[in-house]
Structure 1
């Protein structure tokens, strides 16, 4: 793993993510190297090699994070803030320590390391912490995201956050037909999350290499994702399932550009 240390001019960048005003990325690049990761596009501007082989470390992120910003801050859009290197560098922790605690903050991770910083989360006026859960185990996990912590550890982290009074959420993503077991996820997390958020796989964002992985290893899932009629039937069934499971499903929206960009909220 190549580590590139840099200094940044700013740490709060305007975000195009719906509902998010600023993104904060103390790291760029991610050791988890999920095959579908939507942040891979950044490799066009970062000539360090393939996604998952490098991490850029913004060494002055804590100092830049002192600023008070108005609006929601999302940590992180181009990395996982609690990827393995964080255990040693503690850059995320140092950044949280220096942040203005009046900033509204949302954190998303796949790592149970997040519970290490509960003491800091309690200092913020408005904070929520989410863990991505997608039920990938066994063959699916080995192919799609082999280097991430297990689902069991992620769910345990959510429970710890809940027990400590930290607002939390389960981010069910990516939802892939025939692979992501939404019903099992919701049953396992019921009562230990404040809410669930849903996102169907974005084929365009996942990239051509992942489309080939899907086609080769999960042909039935691939056929549903690329076939217009089959896809919308899947979405219809998905929404019905979410409502049946007694989730707060008011205002569910499905957006699609071409056949790629799909979100269920």
Structure 2
């Protein structure tokens, strides 16, 4: 699919965060060519009339020079895009932002792309940095329906391994967790040697959008019922909590969105 590139200039690259325990977010791109069908950032199409989600990417061309600003606290890259989506291989905007960032910043990077290993040399310059890979185990039918344009799971796991072997702090973001689809135990067993910790997030059905909700309702009616029935959802989360506890991995908890944002301790 051809992606429309929109070049923009901005006044600041650091945005105050609404995410718990995160002070700032950095998004040098807005929009994402991975076009995951469940993506929570699709809400941006309400204000950015460029077309269907995944068909366009905003490129903040002056982001590198703005990244020089010194900010205090934790910084996350990125929240409404993937910093290593396909166009990054050519534009190298993420790399240039990293080059200009104050290396004293506490930085957390999250991606679905093995391209992230390209910038290991820059990661090593930061005083405090962690790099995460989203690994959700989608294969076969679910991969084709939920995120057909993303790198395969094996490539992400190999990238995680390379980052860890380079001496970096790493984590696995297991998201979205979908009942009866996401195999938590399998993901942990495949990655536990390369991850310092895990963060688990159950699918935010409301944020996934009406189109994805219909996809689940029609193609996975039993799963849709679990996600929409309070009793069944509660039992699912409790079972998930027990499973994660038995796996014995370091984690901050399970993020759920049944009644707003909630972090369930393991």
2:248 matches 1:246? yes
**Would you say 1:66 and 2:68 are equivalent positions?**
yes
Relative to structure 1, the CA distance from residue 264 to residue 3 in structure 2 (aligned partners, 3 Å threshold; closer, same or farther) is: farther
**214, 217, 225: which one pairs with 2:216?**
214
| Equivalent residue number for residue 7 of structure 1 | 9
Contact 1:200–1:263 (Cα < 8 Å) also in 2: no
Question: Structure 2: 5+ residue runs without aligned partners?
Answer: none
Aligned with residue 27 of structure 1, among 7, 26, 29: 29
| Structure 1 stretches of at least 4 aligned residues deviating more than 2 Å after TM superposition | 251-258, 260-265
Matching of residue 83 in structure 1 with residue 85 in structure 2 = yes
Q: What is the deviation of 1:252?
A: 3.6
Residue 130 (structure 2) pairs with residue 97 (structure 1): no
- C-alpha contact (below 8 Å) 2:136/2:174 kept by paired residues: yes
Cα deviations by residue, 1:50-91 (Å, 9 ceiling, x for unpaired): 110100000000000001110111100110000000000000
Residues 217-263 of structure 1 show CA distances to partners (whole Å, capped at 9, x for unaligned) of 222211111111111110110000000111235x64665453x7555
CA positional deviation for 1:19: 1.2
Match of residue 128 from structure 2: 126
Distance of 1:42 and 1:220 partners within structure 2: 30
Deviation at 1:191, TM superposition (A): 1.4
CA RMSD of aligned residues (A): 1.4
More moved, 207-216 vs 127-136: 207-216
CA 1:87–1:264: 2 relative to 1, 3 Å: farther
CA distance in 1, matches of 2:23, 2:155: 30
Alpha-carbon shift at residue 146 of structure 1 (Å):
0.4
Whether the 8 Å CA contact 1:203–1:261 is kept in 2: the answer is no
Deviations 1:162-200 (A, max 9, x none): 000010100000000011110100000111100011000
Q: Distance in 2 between matches of 1:108 and 1:5?
A: 23
Q: What's the secondary structure of 1:63's corresponding residue?
A: helix
Distance 2:98 2:11 in 1: 18
Quote the Cα distance in structure 2 between the aligned partners of 1:224 and 1:166: 38
Residue 187 of structure 2: aligned partner:
185
Match of 1:204 in 2: 206
The normalised TM-score by structure 2 is 0.95
Change over 3 Å in CA distance of 1:263–1:31 after alignment to 2: farther
Q: Give 3-state SS (helix, strand or coil) of 2:198's partner.
A: strand
Task: Classify 1:205/1:57 alpha carbon distance in 2 versus 1 (closer, same or farther; 3 Å).
Answer: same
1:146 and 1:253, CA in 2 relative to 1: closer, same or farther beyond 3 A?
closer
Contact 2:199 2:253 in 1 (8 A): no
Q: Which residue of 1 aligns with 2:43?
A: 41
Question: Normalising by the residue count of structure 1, what TM-score does the alignment of the two structures yield?
Answer: 0.96
